[in-house]
Amino acid sequence: MTPPHVERRTGLGRGLGALIPQTSSAGSAPMEIPISRIQGNPYQPRLKVEQQALEQLAASIAIHGVIQPVLVTEVLDGYQLVAGERRVRAAQMAGLDHVPAVIRQLAARDQLAVAVVENVQRTDLNAMEEAHAYRQLADEFKLTQDEIATRVGKARSTIANILRLLDLDPEVQTALSEGRISEGHARALAGSSPEVQHQLVQAIDGRGLSVRQTEELVRRLRDKPAIKANVAVETDANMEHLEEGLRRALGTKVLLARSRKGGRIVIEYYSDEEFSRLYDRLTGGNA
């Protein structure tokens, strides 16, 4: 019997079923096990769980029960959780004593791989958590990038790009983990000096620079290495002042972007009516 939680998803090229050894033993079918006998997964890659999302899941479980079985492996004094941490925690919050579980015997590296896949499929891992999980597979279990890619169902180039995030300045990694910058911002900063990364991440976080603006700022610093990062940021701060003046004048979001031969002005609008208003403002009402 194929447990419900291995149904095909579109998030990855392979489902969990491709990573979980199938057996013909009685343990292949879901069974109710006591939550008190379930130990946490020492290879859990997710470091944070949103409390609000957990409470919403607990409320659903209180009404409908745990629909998808968790995945565990047997240990001497009970069971060790492989996948389904949120379901177990939410079931506890809902007052349940037992949860449905599928029992598999998995090697340690398979436990980590399955946990990574489940979290990635559910988009529960941020980019840094995913990078640390792949590094653990490489360092602790001696897997190559090709082997990691095969196990988690991603392209090798994707694994390599995510692992490069671990080379970023710690401040950039923290900002990425906390969602203050995006993975695109972080990749734009890759290869820059720690000083440049430190100053630019503050500009991205404080002023809401887009990925393209960040890439342009990094390019300017690389093309003219004599320019200090703080000078570039200060110059960009002048652009922000000009942007703010245009925003007030036009009543909408305006972006300025410099280029080697000049630049461009991007004026955003969100409806036909707003476009007409902006057109009239810019043309003086003349067709």
Instruction: Report which of 86, 120, 102, 124 is spatially closest to residue 3, judged by C-alpha positions.
Output: 102
Can you tell me the distance from the alpha carbon of 73 to that of 88, in angstroms, rounded to the nearest whole number? 15
Whether residue 85 lies in the annotated active site: yes
Can you tell me the distance from the alpha carbon of 188 to that of 169, in angstroms, rounded to the nearest whole number? 13
Q: Which tokens hold the place of 217?
A: 């700022």
The catalytic position among 7, 32, 85, 274 is 85
Task: State how beta strands 70-75 and 98-103 pair.
Answer: parallel
Q: How many residues does the structure list for the chain?
A: 287
Active site residue ranges: 85
